[in-house]
Amino acid sequence: MKAKIKYNVTPNLPSQLDVLRSLAFNVCFSWKGEIGDLFQRIDPGLWDECKHNPVAMLGLVSQGRLNELSRDQGFLTQLERVSQDYKRYISQPRSSSPDFSEAPFQVAYFSAEFGLTECLPVYSGGLGVLSGDHLKSSSDLNVPLVGVGLLYQEGYFSQYLSSDGWQMESYPVNDFANMPVRVVRDKEGKALTVSVKFKGQSVHILIWRIDVGRVSLFMLDTNIDINPPEFRKTTAQLYGGDREMRLRQEIVLGIGGVRALRALGIEATVFHMNEGHSAFSALERISILRRDKGLSFDAAREFVLSTTVFTTHTPVPAGNDVFDVNLVRAYFEEYTKELGINFKVLLGYGRIDPWNENEPFGMTPLSLRLSAHANGVSRLHGKVSKAMWQKIWPGHPVEDLPIDYVTNGIHVPTWISREMAALFNRYLGPDWAEDPDNERVWTQVERIPSTELWLTHERCREYLVGFTRFRLAEQLKRRGYSDIEVQAAREVLMPDALTIGFARRFATYKRATLLFRDPDKLERIVNRPESPVQIIIAGKAHPQDNEGKQLIKKILHLAREDRFRGRIVFLEDYNLNIAQQLVTGSDVWLNTPRRPLEACGTSGMKALANGSINLSVLDGWWDEGYHPSFGWAIGHGEVFSNYDAQDDLESRDLYNLLEKEVVPLFYQRGRDGIPRGWVERMRAGLRHLCPIFNAHRMVQEYVNRYYSPCSQRYNVLCRDNFHGAKELADWRHKLMTSWQGVSVQELIGSHGLEKTVGEELDVVAKVKLGALSTEDVTVEAYYGRLDQNGDFAERKTIPLSFTESSNDVYTFSGKIPCRDTGRLGYTVRITPSQDRLENRFTMGLITWA
């Protein structure tokens, strides 16, 4: 039986406590510890029971307790102090660098998942946590940004383990009425909705809002009564269902997300697609420009392309969504008429080879073709992404492809322990958290006495051991284990033993069992009485990934062997709370991906900020962050074709590092019991890596390199009824139809010339441009060191200047500086004008000498 009328009951807060409601509905409680302290003080047990959800807690705390607090002068004083700090933070004016007052400047950040706080379980892993940290740092930096995502009724699954160690899944239903999320309403108080079409049938989308500090996140929900049952389930589960369900979700996110922003009256000047799930947003923007502004498809595309940023997150093929052509046809054949193009043209945008009719439709090719700026999420991932997608731009050397990189970072205030934060407050200054990408701030780490740094970390490890014992005992109780076994779980691990943390998705390429490849060797390492080692593991395998589930089962079985009992612990149902405990209390953070398949891997950054030392394969961020004084590297950055041989070699390297370097350094103590060599590695990591690998630096980099240029481009192209966009489309059409007339006729130079360092080499190129002019092109010398085969081992470019013309032959010249010794060479290339395009390489036009 269903209720005919639905209503909500909210707590009757005394007027003195009314500000608690505002504090509860802004998730900055997830990184501003003083707000969490306030709610914990109301009822510590209830705070933990509610999974640190202040909205649910206010609904459950007794009216008597609320009335009591309204008369508690100590609590009211604390509430006043916290609320004043909150109001100061929320109302702080935007800085003038960069100048966001230039109208308009507004970023719309799209992502399929956002990991903000434990009590909003609508995320699965690294992508979502990264998205959440991006919003939090945007709030701290006061960047004009809004987020757009999907509000999943069942979120990602909860994990529990069978008695045999096999991962099982359950899908608890999220009760949005008791979460820090609110329905957006119009002026009349009605819930605001937009709609999209699935195979011609309208689907209505409810818009919710989550406040993330100063930033708003708008979440889309199809679970409303007006929709047919099969369509209501579109936003039921994150990464659940079949391919058609995934396509529907991406239509809601991309097309529905753009329509939601319009309904909210938000005019974004920059659209940032965080992974290809939201690529359809570019199509919807083109459709709107055609309908509302009368632009041609080409002019609308130029405008959209110039104002779009795309971040790709995975070098693993399974992480890049592709769809069967017939499925795409069923949902988009009619929609393409609104775009003013043939359906086959749309398919071409989503294929690596537009002419290959057997190729499925891919969201990453679509995103790359409709974005002026594309980036990977670490230096190595940028290189890997270029190699993955090289065929989209035939004729371009892989190093010139229009995919750059912005290395991910973490929102340090969210991930740092309370104890470490207090230590930093004393020695780095109370405002360090508002400026965590400032290198000068982190130089103050040198002032922290070794004793204080070490004892602070030891307390965090003790908390981790206590937390692990409690969680493990609860796990065993739920599975029906005996009281004796539950009591034994409360005594696992040692508060002062070297603790290795490993927590992440159990995708097979992450090689969670590399540490357990030789159990006998591992036994000798962990069980030495004078230098014990313990390992805490957490993670989930995708529900359809049986190989990943086998890895979990293998670890569970090993942990139950007598020789490892109490030394290896697996914590089930990995979530943000478990992640927080692990990164704050582990001594060593282990990461063992198969290079180069780890795009970035931010968990190591979180551990780093808490003084943990990384032991990792040279992949993702560690490839650019590693230095012997900060941590340890497994292997030397090799890439293997024989995976079994690679696992053998790198597992041996891992055991050798643990046995000969890591464990001895940890237990090498002075007379005061402090492992000074270990502490110096902790200090070096904090000093040199924290200013770089944090989300403030990341967001600032996006602002400077992508958001500001895109917003400026937006303002230029939309002037005079989009005259700039129309002109750009005409110019692109001219280039596309005339480029065959472009050629390099002659390079005037001699082989075998010898120059000395400090001299310059004259370059003269005679070119034909056909129907184009010198303003339409950029002519460059492309030079650098050569390898043994005469190919460029490294390259640089300098622009050549137009000097004269004769009989339709144009002369360009310049000088190459001779700064390096060795065997070098040069050639000349012609590309579309770099002054006319946001990214001249996206057109795919290039002519070489």
pLDDT tens for residues 132-145?
A: 999 999 999 999 99
Burial class of 799 by CB neighbour count within 10 A (0 to 12, 13 to 18, 19+): exposed
Tokens of 529: 């009485």
In a domain, 60, yes or no: yes
- Residue 648 reports pLDDT greater than 60: yes
Cα–Cα distances in angstroms (integers) from residue 665 to residues 494, 633, 676, in the given order: 18, 15, 9
Q: What is the pLDDT of residue 100?
A: 64
Domain extent, residue 37, equals 18-91
Contact 579, 536 (CB under 8 A): no
pLDDT at 841: 80
pLDDT value at 837 more than 70: yes
Name 763's Cβ contacts closer than 8 Å, sequence gap at least 6. Answer: 747, 749, 781, 800, 813, 814, 815, 816, 826, 828
pLDDT at 1: 64
The enclosing domain of 153 has a CATH number of: 3.40.50.2000
How many domains does the structure of the chain reveal?
4
Percent of the chain with pLDDT over 90: 86
User: At residue 96, does pLDDT exceed 60?
Assistant: no
In a shared domain, residues 466 and 380: no
Is 430 found in the same domain as 395?
no
Would you say residue 112 lies in a domain? Answer: yes
24 with 127, same domain? no
* Residue type for position 223: N
pLDDT for position 840: 81
The three-class DSSP label of residue 158 is strand
Q: What is the pLDDT of residues 404-425, one digit of tens each?
A: 999 999 999 999 999 999 999 9
Question: Does 399 share its domain with 521?
Answer: no
Sheet holding 847-848, edge to edge: 796-799, 777-785, 824-832, 847-848
SS3 798: strand
Last residue of a domain, one of 693, 710, 732: 693
Task: Mark which of 633, 663, 693 sits at the end of a domain.
Answer: 693
Which pLDDT score is estimated for 95? 61
CA dihedral 144, 149, 593, 555 (to 10 degrees): 130
Which residues lie across from 503 on neighbouring strands? 538
pLDDT over 80 at 494, yes or no: yes
pLDDT given for residue 103 in this prediction: 65
Q: Which residues pair with 568 in a beta bridge?
A: 535
Measure the CA–CA gap between 341 and 828, rounded to whole angstroms: 36
Q: Residue 99: what pLDDT?
A: 57
* Whether residue 277 is found in the same domain as residue 389: yes
Distance set, CA 775 to CA 61, 680, 833 (Å)? 70, 57, 7
For the segment 71-96, the average pLDDT, to the nearest whole number, is: 90
475 shares its domain with 584? yes
Rounded to whole angstroms, the Cα distance separating 568 from 532 reads 12
Task: Say what the pLDDT of residue 89 is.
Answer: 94
Mean per-residue pLDDT for 434-447?
Answer: 88
If one compares 257 and 96, the residue with the highest pLDDT of the two is 257
The answer to whether residues 73 and 131 belong to one domain is no
pLDDT > 70 fraction of the chain, expressed in percent and rounded: 98
Strand order in the sheet with 801-806: 743-748, 760-768, 809-817, 801-806
Q: Which one, of 783, 786, 791, 735, lies nearest residue 760 by Cα?
A: 783
For residue 127, give the H/E element and its range: helix 126-141
Q: Are residues 423 and 529 located together in one domain of the fold?
A: yes
Q: Around Cβ 447, how many Cβ atoms within 10 Å?
A: 9
**Average pLDDT, integer, range 275-297:** 96
Span 668-718, pLDDT tens digits:
999 999 999 999 999 999 999 999 999 999 999 999 999 999 999 999 999
The DSSP secondary-structure symbol of 102 reads S
Looking at the structure, tell me whether residues 671 and 785 fall in a common domain.
no
Structure-token pair, residue 483: 């009281």
Segment 208-224 shows an average pLDDT of 98
In a domain, 245, yes or no: yes
The amino acid present at 728, given as its one-letter code, is L
Domain assignment present for 254: yes
Is 459 inside a domain boundary? yes
Whether 124 and 142 map to the same domain: the answer is yes
Q: What share of the chain is helix, strand, coil (3-state, %, to 5)?
A: 45, 20, 35
Whether the per-residue pLDDT at 443 is higher than 80: the answer is yes
Question: Is 485 among the domain residues?
Answer: yes
- Whether residue 647 sits in one domain with residue 764: no
Question: Coil, helix or strand for 167?
Answer: strand
pTM: 0.94
Q: Are residues 585 and 646 in the same domain?
A: yes
Cβ contact 413:609 at 8 Å: no
Residue 810 is part of a domain; what is its CATH number? 2.60.40
Say if residue 755's pLDDT is above 90: no
- Distance CA(539)–CA(551), nearest Å, equals 10
Query: What angle separates helix 243-251 from helix 325-332, to the nearest 10 degrees?
Result: 40
Report pLDDT for 318.
75
Task: Report the alpha-carbon distance of residue 824 to residue 752 in Å, rounded.
Answer: 10
Asked whether the beta carbons of 305 and 838 are under 8 A apart, the reply is yes
In a domain, 732, yes or no: no
pLDDT band at 722 (very low <50, low <70, confident <90, very high): very high
The residue-averaged pLDDT of 538-555 equals 95
pLDDT in tens, 559-606: 999 999 999 999 999 999 999 999 999 999 999 999 999 999 999 999
Asked whether residue 439 is assigned to any structural domain, the reply reads yes
Mean pLDDT score of the chain = 94
Q: Is the pLDDT of residue 21 over 90?
A: yes
